[in-house]
Amino acid sequence: MRRRAFMAGLLAASAPTMAHGQEQARIAILHSGFPNRTPIHLLFEALGRLGYEHGRTATIDLHGGEGNPDRLSALVAQIATQKPHVVIAITAPAAVALKRPELSMPVVFAVVLDPVGLGLVESLARPAGNFTGTTYSEADLGGKRLEFLIDALPETRRVAVLWGSGVQQNAPLLESIRNSASTRAIAIFARELRGLEDLAPAFEAAAQAGAQAVVFLSDNLMFGHRKQVAELALAHRLPSMHAFAAEVEDGGLMFYGPSLAESYRRAAALADRILKGARPGELPVEQPTKFELIINLKTAKALGLTIPESFLLRADEVIE
């Protein structure tokens, strides 16, 4: 009995202390796409390390909008009736869907570019309202991706940019790429992707336009079909730069961007602070401190490319 009581005491001590007293934490996670096709386990692991384990110390409900605005809106209404203590919104469409005057739930967003421009917060330093989170509002992120692609393939003079229209922040990323291209005398062929039916024709058009590589700016729909994207890039002999690490793990050539694991860790930490009584509007929006370059060497070999050793040494991860 004493050992059982001792172990129960340990479990109680390890559970997070909430501002809501002894009530178990209720956390909702809203993703605008297909969360189970993404590394969403990283967020659950980050929450677990803070003591929030589904079914034991917390109730954590995962919702996926599947790239459908109507479904996303219905999920927001459902979440509102469940009254979670905090909502973690993954991607801009999910966060924007929660920005309703009648909703007062605290929201922590992640994987969101330019939350000020989207009207989610008043400023990064002083969010105000019910929103805070992590962002990667790097104005030159698109340009950096182009620069890494050219550094790896210095003979490249024409690059295609294929961008999913389901994420409105892809448009400024395209502009960033254009600006960077103009300083390097790189020609850009751009094509917007509104649906899966546009995917194969866009790669065909890029190849016919003489593109020697492609920067692929995904959205929820395209991300869910990233293996098909990788296959099309390989079929058209187009080395590809991507916006998410999972796209490279599934066959794309390169990824450069903020560490998703870090974004999820920091989003979980912000949610923890809110659960312990902090007001989201008083928690500054956090920007990434860790960016990653990942290269799929298997894909490079399949394309017949030789990546300079000096460039490989700059990578955080090389998939062989």
pLDDT in tens, 52-91: 999 999 999 999 999 899 999 999 999 999 999 999 999 9
Task: Determine what percent of the chain is predicted with pLDDT higher than 70.
Answer: 92
Q: In which element (H, E) is residue 256 found?
A: strand 254-258
Mean pLDDT over residues 227-240, rounded?
97
| Same-fold call for 2-137+260-289 versus 141-258+292-319 | yes
Q: Where does 15-67 have alpha helices with state H? A: 41-49
Which positions ≥6 away from 10 have C-beta within 8 Å?
A: none
Upper half-sphere CA count for residue 305 (Cβ side, 13 Å): 28
The full length of the chain comes to: 320
Average pLDDT of the chain, as a whole number: 91
Q: Phi/psi of residue 46, each to 5°?
A: -65, -40
Query: Are 93 and 253 contacting, i.e. CB atoms less than 8 angstroms apart?
Result: no
Radius of gyration of the chain (CA): 21
Amino acid 138: pLDDT? 58
Distance CA 60, CA 40 (A): 12
Q: Please determine, for residue 274, whether its predicted confidence score (pLDDT) is greater than 50.
A: yes
Amino acid 16: pLDDT? 64
The model's pLDDT over 111-152, given as tens digits with 9 standing for 90+, comes to 888 899 899 999 999 999 999 999 976 567 889 999 999 999
End-to-end Cα distance, the chain: 53
Amino acid 37: pLDDT? 85
DSSP assigned state of 35? G
Query: Are 252 and 296 contacting, i.e. CB atoms less than 8 angstroms apart?
Result: yes
Please, which pLDDT band fits residue 173 given cuts at 50, 70 and 90? Answer: confident
Distance CA 54, CA 307 (A): 44
Q: Please determine, for residue 298, whether its predicted confidence score (pLDDT) is greater than 80.
A: yes
Amino acid 7: pLDDT? 38
Superfamily, domain 141-258+292-319? Response regulator (3.40.50.2300)
Superfamily, domain 2-137+260-289? Response regulator (3.40.50.2300)
Amino acid 3: pLDDT? 42
Kindly list the domain boundaries of the chain, sorted by start residue. 2-137+260-289, 141-258+292-319
Single-letter residue type at 144 = K
Q: Please determine, for residue 46, whether its predicted confidence score (pLDDT) is greater than 50.
A: yes
Please, which pLDDT band fits residue 19 given cuts at 50, 70 and 90? Answer: low
Amino acid 137: pLDDT? 60
Q: Where does 158-217 have alpha helices with state H? A: 170-183, 199-208
> Both tokens of residue 18?
């909430």
Amino acid 11: pLDDT? 43
What is the model's pTM?
0.81
Sign of CA dihedral 92, 97, 102, 104: negative
